[in-house]
């Protein structure tokens, strides 16, 4: 092909314009990468009062929900986790550290950790999880949007259904023992409710306090000869030392009923409880909403009604109980 001088000039001009446009596009991309942070370069700090299967499952659920939404450490998410090892003073120290770190969201697992974090900040968004009575613990004024920096997911259970399970497993039970930490607000709430509820169902409550994890075994032994069954809530001291409670139940042939399904694998006969991993994912979805710009004070606190019955036939035999076929047929999981 032969080029005339005018056509050659036109072609050179066209190439020049293409080059200018390309250069402008590249410059815009580079500028955006410098001036705009990565979409997921945000920070989430998680704290738990103690490590045990239920609370660990919540932590894992939160992290997995974030990952599914694209919030991963590979994409810039700053994730940190600390446990207070059952010590409220350490929970306060962790809360203060996190406030100094200024993360985008703090996730506080269990009542003592949530109380410590909420006391430490009125500005950083806080998402609580595994708090039985968030109103009684003074985390939120109600389950409606709080108008503050706090929202979350409660593990509150209908105690009437818990008592019905006790009657199904131990039909003749009249005296219900409960080991709990009197310093844990969620446990005190359950005890107060049972004191009122049980007499109307022909039962009475016998209490044994365990202010520390090491007290759980002794508290359980103090109930031997005084109770027909022992019920445990999601008290963190008790759940952390459930094996010591199970030993007493097995030795004295006292049936153990729990509200934490993970405790069934550790020696309880049965539990009608929540899936704490799913609760963690539920809390994680709230965290994502906040990371995307929602105000925590405009997000109502949540609960879960997805209960599952777990049974342990081995524990039942050790504790002198025969599980009915009706009960077995209604169970989501049975340890044989």
Flag residues of the chain having pLDDT under 70.
1-41
The Cα-based distances of 299 to 41, 136, 146, 150, 295 in angstroms read 23, 19, 8, 9, 7
| pLDDT for the residue 115 | 97
Count up the domains in the chain and report the number.
2
146 located within any domain = yes
| pLDDT for the residue 22 | 46
| pLDDT for the residue 306 | 80
**Residues of the domain holding 148:** 43-156+275-298
Question: Which of 168, 163, 167 is closest to 195 using CA atoms?
Answer: 163
Write the DSSP symbol of residue 268: -
The Cα-based distances of 5 to 1, 9, 12, 14, 19 in angstroms read 13, 6, 11, 14, 21
Residues 140 and 54 in one domain: yes
Which helix (H) or strand (E) element contains residue 112? Answer: helix 111-120
Residues 238 and 283 in one domain: no
| pLDDT for the residue 31 | 45
Residues 255 and 285 in one domain: no
Q: What pTM was estimated for this model as a whole?
A: 0.79
| pLDDT for the residue 20 | 53
| pLDDT for the residue 121 | 98
Please check whether residue 169 is in contact with residue 323, taking contact to mean a CB–CB distance below 8 angstroms: yes
Give residue for tokens 């986790």: 81
33 located within any domain = no
Residues 186 and 119 in one domain: no
Joined together, the tokens standing for residue 133 give 């009575």
| pLDDT for the residue 6 | 47
What is the torsion angle, in degrees rounded to the nearest 10, for the CA atoms of residue 168, residue 169, residue 172 and residue 176? Answer: -110
Question: Which of 86, 255, 124, 85 is closest to 177 using CA atoms?
Answer: 255
| pLDDT for the residue 298 | 98
Beta-carbon contacts of 6 under 8 Å, excluding residues fewer than 6 positions away, are none
Q: Rounded to whole angstroms, how far apart are CA atoms 262 and 53?
A: 6
Residues 96 and 150 in one domain: yes
Residues 256 and 280 in one domain: no
Residues 267 and 143 in one domain: no
Sort 197 into a burial class: Cβ within 10 Å, 0-12 / 13-18 / 19+. Answer: middle
């Amino acid at each position: 092909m032969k080029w005339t001088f005018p056509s050659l000039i036109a072609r050179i001009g066209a190439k020049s314009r293409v080059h200018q446009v390309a250069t402008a596009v590249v410059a815009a991309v580079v500028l955006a990468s410098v001036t705009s942070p990565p979409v997921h370069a945000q920070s989430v700090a998680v704290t738990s009062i103690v490590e045990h299967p239920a609370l660990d499952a919540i932590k894992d659920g939160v992290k997995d929900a974030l990952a599914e939404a694209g919030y991963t450490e590979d994409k810039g998410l700053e994730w940190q986790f600390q446990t207070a090892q059952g010590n409220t003073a350490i929970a306060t120290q962790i809360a203060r550290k996190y406030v100094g770190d200024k993360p985008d969201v703090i996730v506080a697992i269990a009542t003592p950790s949530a109380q410590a974090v909420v006391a430490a900040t009125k500005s950083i968004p806080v998402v609580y999880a595994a708090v039985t009575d968030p109103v009684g613990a003074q985390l939120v004024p109600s389950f409606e949007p709080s108008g503050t920096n706090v929202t979350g997911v409660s593990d509150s259970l209908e105690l009437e259904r818990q008592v019905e399970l006790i009657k199904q497993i131990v039909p003749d039970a009249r005296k219900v023992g409960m080991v709990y930490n009197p310093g844990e607000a969620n446990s005190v709430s359950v005890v107060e409710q049972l004191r009122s509820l049980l007499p109307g169902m022909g039962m009475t409550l016998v209490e044994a306090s365990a202010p520390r994890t090491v007290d759980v075994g002794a508290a359980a032994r103090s109930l031997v000869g005084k109770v027909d069954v022992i019920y445990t809530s999601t008290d963190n001291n008790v759940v952390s030392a459930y094996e010591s409670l199970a030993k007493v139940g097995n030795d004295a042939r006292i049936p153990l009923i729990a509200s934490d399904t993970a405790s069934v694998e550790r020696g309880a006969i049965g539990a009608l409880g929540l899936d704490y991993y799913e609760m963690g994912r539920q809390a994680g979805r709230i965290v994502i909403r906040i990371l995307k710009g929602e105000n925590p004070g405009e997000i109502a606190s949540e609960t879960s009604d997805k209960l599952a019955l777990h049974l342990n036939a081995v524990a039942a035999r050790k504790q002198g109980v025969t599980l009915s076929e009706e009960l077995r047929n209604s169970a989501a999981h049975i340890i044989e």
